[in-house]
Amino acid sequence: MNDLECPECPYCNAIIKLCHEDGQCYAEEKDHELSCGECGKNFIVHTTVSYYYSPRKADCLNGSPHRFTSWQRLWESEQDRMCIDCEHRERRTLPMAPAKTKNLSHKTP
């Protein structure tokens, strides 16, 4: 599986296959010396980790009510739901349902 983009050789634009199993070039903000298998030139790869921001609206942070998912049953009488905007969690305990008295005898008079 290739989870990282491979760098290109700055001389001939060949794609340099990194051996990810060895953690090659995984170290951040460091210079790594590589040599190109195509043109044989040595070059430096600088690994940078970038962060992506994904803003989304959260009306509940601006005075609107939370937008909750439906109640999810946790166990016995506990339920839990989450606001899909701000991930605020709410929990509730249901009153224990009165045990149903089963009349197992079906004797007809």
Length of the chain: 109
Q: Which two tokens stand for residue 63?
A: 């005075």
12: contact with Zn ion by CB under 5 A: yes
Q: x-or-dash pattern for Zn ion, window 73-92, by CB under 5 A?
A: ----------x-xx-x----
Among 6, 39, 44, 74, binds Zn ion (CB under 5 A): 39
Identify the three-state secondary structure at position 78.
strand
36: contact with Zn ion by CB under 5 A: yes
Is the Cβ of residue 20 or residue 58 nearer to Zn ion in the bound state? 58
Which residues from 13-32 bind Zn ion, rule CB under 5 A? Answer: 14
Which residues, including other chains, have CB under 8 Å from residue 79's CB and lie 6 or more apart? 71, 72, 73, 91, 92, 93, 94
Instruction: Tell me how many helices (H) and strands (E) the chain has.
Output: 0, 5
* Contacting residues toward Zn ion, per CB under 5 A: 9, 11-12, 14, 36, 38-39, 60, 66, 83, 85-86, 88
